[in-house]
Each structure stands twice: as C-alpha cells, then as structure tokens.
Amino acid sequence: MNEDFARCVRSAAIAGWWTILIGALFLTLQWLASQLLLSAKPAWLLALWGPDVTWETVRTVWLWAMAIFKMCLWVMTLLVIWLSLWSRRLKSSKFHR
C-alpha cells in the first residue's frame, strides 16, 4: 500500500512540474504579446474589449491578470516542491518495502 501511495505522490509531483513549465511558457508568451500589442496599440484590440475602453484600462487589466497568474504559479510551485520532497521522503522511508 505504501508503495502505491508513494508512486501516486511522485506522479502528482511530476505532473505538477509539467504544469508549472507549461504555465511559465504561457506567462512568457503572454508577456511578449502584451509588449507587442500595448506598444503597437492596434484599433482592433480596443474593439475586442468593447466600447468606452481606453488603453490605460487595457494595460491595467492585462497587468493585473498577469500578476495574479504569476502568484498562482508561485503558490503551485511551492506545492509541487513540497510534493517532490514528500515523494523523496516516502521513497527513502523505512516503511517503504
């Protein structure tokens, strides 16, 4: 039973690391898109956001969205580090047979 549980914890840690990697890549692409679009200021972007939206509003919402996503990614990274350490401890535990 302990071996199965240790394997499940290790699998969760591995899946978490892949999720963090994908999230970091998404955050990087999001940052590049924001740099390109907010400097070019295309008219179609304001049309997508709706009437009476200014570039300052778009910039503020985009910055907050990226900041919140980054904080969520940070919390998830701490959780996955804990899972990885717990998995290692379960693997080397004297109860593991």
pLDDT score of 97: 54
Non-local (6+) Cβ contacts of 97 within 8 A are: 2, 3
Confidence of residue 95 (pLDDT cuts 50, 70, 90): low
> Which tens digits make up the pLDDT trace of 9-63?
999 999 999 999 999 999 999 999 999 999 999 999 999 999 999 999 999 999 9
Residue with tokens 């990087």: 28
Q: Where are the domains of the chain?
A: 2-91
Q: Report the amino acid identity of residue 53.
A: V
What is the pTM (predicted TM-score) of this model?
A: 0.84
